[in-house]
Structure 1
Amino acid sequence: MSFRTRRDVLRMSALAALAVPLAACQTGYSDEPDPLASPAEQARADAAAANQVGGDLASQVAAARTTHAQTLQAEVDRLNRPKSAAQVVTPAASGVSGLKERLATAREQAEKLVPSLPRYRAGLVAAVAAGCAGLQQLDDKLGPGTDPGTVTASATTIPGEAVGPLQKALDAEHAAVWVYALVSAFVTSNYTASVSDGANEHRNRRDACVRMLDAAGVTPDGAEPAYITPKPVTDSTSAKSVVASAEADAAAAWRGVLEGTDDENLRKVALVALLGSARRGTRWRVAAGESPAAVALPGAAA
């Protein structure tokens, strides 16, 4: 669920019609093999391997990778490009160690595709990468995976079509900063470092958004005095849950940036943010005892 002001609630119905990505309706036909065919086949192979391993951890990997396979294949089928032999990477290791290698391979494969894809596909494949990054946070046996790093963005000009999505990302970052401040009073001391790290990252993202919007000559949205949380925060568990929701909202906003621009530098910023929120979101969902702990496609509409 999203953190919304009352103003947001009033305009939701007007925005609902815009939820379907226009890029998904594009016309035209390419006679080149579909670059999403290999990731789809890799996801199917990973899911099958996870099912063979068995156990709760492997079952979560199997479920998420099955979702990846189905979603990617649906997009491949939609464009119906010429078929080609899809290459699948099979790790030398077996069992959970093999699944760890598979997740690292799938994530890297997806991340490399993001810069060159059409907008809608860039968002979809970035979500697959983020889903793998989230799975890596379930247990050290699967990860931890490569840290995407901190979002950095200089005051460079951004394309006009990215202003709207970037404002929404800024709104999500304002809300996340507020949430981390809120929950600091409810979580125990062993979560202090996690709260501090999360708050610092979202402040960095917020400031990056402000710099980019200022450079574009656009007034950045300001923070609201307070935000409406999906559920009341009354104890440590509800605090952890609301942080996970804030990370999910941030992931959705940054996926929106990916689907709203062709600018390579801005896509890099958005991908780092999406991966970071997927990783943190998984950790907070695990801490809150939520199931599934790892979201298959972070940033997807609920």
Structure 2
Amino acid sequence: MTARSIEFSRRAALRAGALAALAVPLAACSGGNDESPDPLAPLLAAAEADAAAARALGTDAVAAQVAEARAAHAAALKSEVDRLNRPKAAAPSATPVPPSGVDGFRDRLAEARKQAADLVGGLPRYRAGLVASVAAGCAALQRVAPPLGPGDDAPDPVAPAGALPPEAIDPLQKALAAEHAAVWVYGLVSAFLPAAFGDAEKSGMAEHAERRDLCRKLISAAGTSPVAPEAAYVPPKPVTDSGSAAAVIATAESDTAAAWLNVLTRTDDAALRGMALAAMVAASRRGTPWRAEAGEKPTAIAMPGQAQSR
């Protein structure tokens, strides 16, 4: 979602000039001499097994989306697991094709989503962001077709207790800017959507408004003025009918997921990470049916918030 040059930069790393300034962060993410099993290895094994099982279902279109997304999860997780090269726990044997076909992925996606979400609060920042994207991607898949879900919606946003970590203020301002834009988009499309979309439109706007207000509260409590909304925003493409309206909503949802991923990877506060993850999951789940309505492929974004998913 563009908004007078509002963009969410997804730089892989900050490039400071002094090598000394880089020494501590690089050492912190190197893995050191940690000999404990890699906590990401079970996520990797599950993603690989799901991708293989989905491929085995042949030409089924829903299974193909599951296979593609879970293969993307596996590739991202494998790259990180291989990078640290920690001891590997004994991997479970690959789960066979579910006897119920695509329906068998309902529980598998729910378990994979929970397995990833449970790790987010305690991982180093980069890994927390990676795993959060996997959790949100599984949540998005749950909305692709009835046999896969519907899954549970994200919990209502809850303000973290205690003071807002200073490093979180700037990314939270960017998340607030994205929420402002999303609220505006939902208001814009009301004139172009049939009455059948009224409930989805109203619930989407209400949830973004709730998160917007929570962001304002957190930022104000930290002694900083919350960023104000723009008078108007510029959609990536003109909104002229229901299809283009659905597309601009899908873009707004994708952008809010990216903004909240930026919050999650800029703090070590577990409660704030939980709030950011809930926002990512909610945006990813809402975005899937809007992408389907707009005819966008794939219907579910495999790694919400990550640069390669856009």
TM-score norm. by structure 1 comes to 0.92
Task: Return closer, same or farther for 1:154/1:130 CA change in 2, 3 Å cut-off.
Answer: closer
Aligned-partner Cα distance in 2 for 1:89–1:167: 43
Partner of 2:67: 62
Offset at residue 40 of structure 1 (A): 0.6
Task: Return closer, same or farther for 1:110/1:180 CA change in 2, 3 Å cut-off.
Answer: same
Match of 1:143 among 145, 149, 157: 149
Q: Counterpart amino acid of 1:38?
A: P
Partner of 2:126: 120
Are residues 1:33 and 2:37 paired? yes
Aligned-partner Cα distance in 1 for 2:103–2:240: 39
Task: Return closer, same or farther for 1:88/1:259 CA change in 2, 3 Å cut-off.
Answer: farther
Task: Return closer, same or farther for 1:87/1:163 CA change in 2, 3 Å cut-off.
Answer: farther
Offset at residue 137 of structure 1 (A): 0.1
Partner of 1:261: 267
Aligned-partner Cα distance in 1 for 2:263–2:232: 24
Alignment of 1:1-302 (within 5 A): 2-6=1-5, 8=6, 19-21=11-13, 26-29=29-32, 30-54=34-58, 55-87=60-92, 90=95, 93-153=99-159, 156-301=162-307, 302=310
Secondary structure of the corresponding residue to residue 164 of structure 2: coil
Offset at residue 89 of structure 1 (A): 8.1
Task: Return closer, same or farther for 1:237/1:176 CA change in 2, 3 Å cut-off.
Answer: same
The answer (yes or no) to whether the contact 2:139–2:284 under 8 Å persists in 1 is yes
Offset at residue 237 of structure 1 (A): 0.4
Task: Return closer, same or farther for 1:38/1:24 CA change in 2, 3 Å cut-off.
Answer: farther
Secondary structure of the corresponding residue to residue 296 of structure 2: coil
Aligned-partner Cα distance in 2 for 1:19–1:220: 24
The answer (yes or no) to whether the contact 2:173–2:226 under 8 Å persists in 1 is yes
TM-score norm. by structure 2 comes to 0.90
Task: Return closer, same or farther for 1:226/1:117 CA change in 2, 3 Å cut-off.
Answer: same
CA deviation map 1:278-301 (0-9, x unaligned): 000101001111111100000111
Partner of 2:18: none
Identity level (%): 53
The number of residues matched between the two structures is 294
Offset at residue 136 of structure 1 (A): 0.4
Aligned-partner Cα distance in 2 for 1:24–1:233: 45
Task: Return closer, same or farther for 1:61/1:28 CA change in 2, 3 Å cut-off.
Answer: closer
**5+ residue gaps, structure 2:** 15-24
The answer (yes or no) to whether the contact 1:148–1:276 under 8 Å persists in 2 is yes
The answer (yes or no) to whether the contact 1:171–1:221 under 8 Å persists in 2 is yes
Task: Return closer, same or farther for 1:86/1:150 CA change in 2, 3 Å cut-off.
Answer: same
Aligned-partner Cα distance in 1 for 2:291–2:53: 25
Offset at residue 93 of structure 1 (A): 5.0
Q: Counterpart amino acid of 1:20?
A: A
Secondary structure of the corresponding residue to residue 152 of structure 1: coil
The answer (yes or no) to whether the contact 1:255–1:274 under 8 Å persists in 2 is yes
Q: CA RMSD in A?
A: 1.9
Q: Counterpart amino acid of 1:300?
A: Q
Q: Counterpart amino acid of 1:184?
A: S
